[in-house]
Amino acid sequence: MKRLTLFTFCALNFANALAQANKQLETTVLAQANQMAKLLISKDYNSFAAYANPVVFTLLKTDQKGFADKMRQQMMDLNKRSASYKYIKFGTPAKIIDTANTLQCIIPEIICITAAGHDYLNHNSMFALSKDHGKKWVFLEVNPSNMSELRKALPIMSSKHIIPQNKVDTK
């Protein structure tokens, strides 16, 4: 009986330690996602680009500076059409997966774009990846419709991720 009690006690302590570690990872990935969003909203495209998953540069055939320039141009084009990003919010990350020497998760994302006097809520998914045990995260917006192309460019992306369909609502 004492062995069973000791085993149960150890198992509960281990489960609690894992839950706390996972909560810390969630806190870190969300803090970095929010920082990235803040940089985009404040138009600091060079700093924003540092949070981009390098596969973005490969897919766009550019580098970090070129990506920052593309983002700057896209935002200027939006502004010319009297549209702008109002805010970006993130939901609770899905289960963090440890695979291929990386940590990965999908984070629900809502981007509010103001255009023609209306707010449009874009519900997207953000793929978060860390190669240093959760200290630094990089991000990539994902869509179920481009997953085959994305998996070719990013073969370490776990097949366990569930990517919901993107949608747009008016506020």
Please list the pLDDT of the chain residue by residue as tens digits (171 residues).
555 564 554 444 444 444 455 789 999 999 999 999 999 999 999 999 999 999 999 989 999 999 999 999 999 999 999 999 999 999 999 999 999 999 999 999 999 999 988 999 999 999 999 999 999 999 999 988 888 888 888 999 999 999 999 999 987
Q: Class of the 2-170 domain?
A: alpha beta
CB 70 within 8 A of CB 86: no
Q: Pairing between strand 97-99 and 83-90?
A: unpaired
pLDDT value at residue 4: 52
pLDDT value at residue 3: 56
pLDDT value at residue 171: 75
What ranges do the domains of the chain cover?
Answer: 2-170
pLDDT value at residue 2: 55
| CA pair distance 26, 53, nearest whole angstrom | 18
R_g of the chain, CA atoms, integer Å: 19
| CA pair distance 6, 165, nearest whole angstrom | 46
CB 69 within 8 A of CB 45: yes
pLDDT value at residue 20: 53
pLDDT value at residue 84: 93
CA count, 13 A, side-chain hemisphere, 139: 24
Nearest alpha carbon to residue 84 among 116, 124, 106: 116
pLDDT value at residue 147: 84
Nearest alpha carbon to residue 96 among 125, 50, 127, 138: 127
H/E stretch holding 67 reads helix 64-80
Question: Vertex 23, ends 21 and 25: CA angle to 5°?
Answer: 70
